[in-house]
Structure 1
Amino acid sequence: MKRWLLMWVALSSLLLSGCASVIRTDVIAFHDWPADLQNKTYVFDHKVDQNNLEEKSYENLVRTELTRLGFVEAAAPNAPNLKVALKYKVDTRDVRTVQPYVVDPYWYGPYYGPGWRYGPYYDPFWYPGPITQYRDVQYQVFDRQLNILITRFKDGKKLYDVTVHSSGGNGSLAFAMPYLVRAAFTDFPGKNGVPRRIDLEIKE
């Protein structure tokens, strides 16, 4: 019976995880965006290894969003109007919860001794049905974060500073980053300093 219950819990968890079709993100942007900004040329700010292939991949995602918004990457690194910097990380935390599971109180296994067909517990009218018990469940949650900062190239003035948080069971930044970047530029530049929750559909 114990083995059957464990299999049932595992199957239920698998089915529930398969139903998760969105990534929930919490976004907050602080900005001093000029309404009359005409020159939208930019370069990426590389303060670390410029040959970091992971970072280049994330820059491509940001580049796609910036192009959609009318920005143009400068051909010469010393001639842009804006500078774009990325920071990202993923943290892990352990979570402990108490979850219910169903138990049949009159399941005794394959015992067929004398009198097993008799007595009140065999009568379906006496059967009280399954009962709920509880067990401790421990698992890991991954907190993913992306920060994008757009500054003016000539003096470093901050124009757009957005941070996106997302938590889930997948610790891969490569998986989450397309959604974090999209959330960072949703309704750009958005309301200043107002937290927003943005749910994005997962595309396989």
Structure 2
Amino acid sequence: MSLFRKILTPIVITSTALLTACATPDTFTTQVNAFNNWPTDTKGKLYAFSNDVSQNLEQKSYADLIAKEMWRTGLMQTNNIKKAHYLVNFNASTETREKIVQEYYEEPMFVPTFGFGFSNFGYGYPGWGWGNNFYSGVGISYTPRVAQYPIQISRHTLALEIKNNKTGNPVYQAKAIADSQNASLTQVMPYLAVSVFDNFPGSNGGTRHIEFDIDKSREQQTPVKYIPE
């Protein structure tokens, strides 16, 4: 096995949140887009999920993760849709995609170089003359080794909408995306749920990237943002 470190660098990157592996610490990044027309009188009002998750334990676990973050909105949960002032709808999904990466090997590859030329040619008055020196050289140059190949990634997405139950008008819409080579949707969902409510309600439009500290998140058993030292 080579003692030299390998560096994986993506050369085709769509507008996604990427799983970023670092030496210290390990981090996980999500990408979020959000839009809002958030009312000023929502504190203490009720919300309910419009998704029927009663017969799907996986979807219910996702609803629980979202409900855990709904405190940021000031709304309180009810199971009675008719009593709810706002309805929350979400869709969690995964699709497989292909990404091309470049692999740089830091092993030295030495390539010989050759060169030659003439020097010291000239003339003068009243006399003239010329002379030349022939020179040549052989050198060694470093050439990095690069390989390109496709990899399969899973793109995990959580799309969430909160709308007025009376008028049907949306007051908040957000989408969080994360790409990973090996993490499942179930593993990524806690980070997506936190991401769609990050800096709630925030500004309209734009793309934000949220970086999480994997080690601290595991220790505290909840998503923890990465703070550079």
TM-score by length of 2: 0.66
Higher mean C-alpha deviation, range 171-180 or range 194-203: 194-203
Report Cα offsets for 1:42-86 as digits up to 9, x if no partner: 110125x63111111111111111135432112533211110001
Residue 97, structure 1, aligned to residue 101, structure 2? yes
* Unaligned stretches of 5+ residues in structure 1: 106-127
Could you tell me which residue of structure 2 aligns to residue 21 of structure 1?
26
Structure 1 residue 174, shift from structure 2 partner: 0.9
Q: 1:95 to 1:195 in 2, by over 3 A?
A: closer
Structure 1 residue 92, shift from structure 2 partner: 1.4
Q: Which structure has more RCO (C-alpha within 8 Å, separation ≥ 6)?
A: 1
- 3-state secondary structure, aligned to 2:65: helix
Residue 77, structure 1, aligned to residue 89, structure 2? no
User: Which aligned pairs between 1:1-40 and structure 2 lie closer than 5 A?
Assistant: 4-5=1-2, 17=21, 19=23, 21-40=26-45
Count, aligned residues: 177
Greater Rg over alpha carbons, structure: 2
- 8 Å CA contact 1:39–1:81 kept in 2: the answer is no
Write the distance in 1 (CA, Å) between the matches of 2:193 and 2:102.
Answer: 34
User: Which aligned pairs between 1:105-116 and structure 2 lie closer than 5 A?
Assistant: none
Match of 2:147, as an amino acid? R
- 3-state secondary structure, aligned to 1:179: helix
Q: 1:9 to 1:93 in 2, by over 3 A?
A: farther
Q: 1:98 to 1:201 in 2, by over 3 A?
A: closer
* Higher helix residue share: 1
- 8 Å CA contact 1:141–1:169 kept in 2: the answer is yes
Counterpart among 63, 70, 93 of residue 67 in structure 2: 63
Structure 1 residue 201, shift from structure 2 partner: 2.0
Write the distance in 2 (CA, Å) between the matches of 1:45 and 1:146.
Answer: 15
Could you tell me which residue of structure 1 aligns to residue 55 of structure 2?
51
Identity of aligned residues (%): 26
CA RMSD of aligned residues (A): 2.9
TM-score by length of 1: 0.73
Residue 87, structure 1, aligned to residue 99, structure 2? no
Could you tell me which residue of structure 2 aligns to residue 163 of structure 1?
175
Match of 2:26, as an amino acid? S
Residue 190, structure 1, aligned to residue 202, structure 2? yes
Match of 1:82, as an amino acid? Y
- 3-state secondary structure, aligned to 2:144: strand
- 8 Å CA contact 1:90–1:171 kept in 2: the answer is no
- 8 Å CA contact 1:84–1:148 kept in 2: the answer is yes
User: Which aligned pairs between 1:135-146 and structure 2 lie closer than 5 A?
Assistant: 135-146=147-158
* Unaligned stretches of 5+ residues in structure 2: 9-19, 111-139, 219-229
Write the distance in 1 (CA, Å) between the matches of 2:142 and 2:92.
Answer: 48
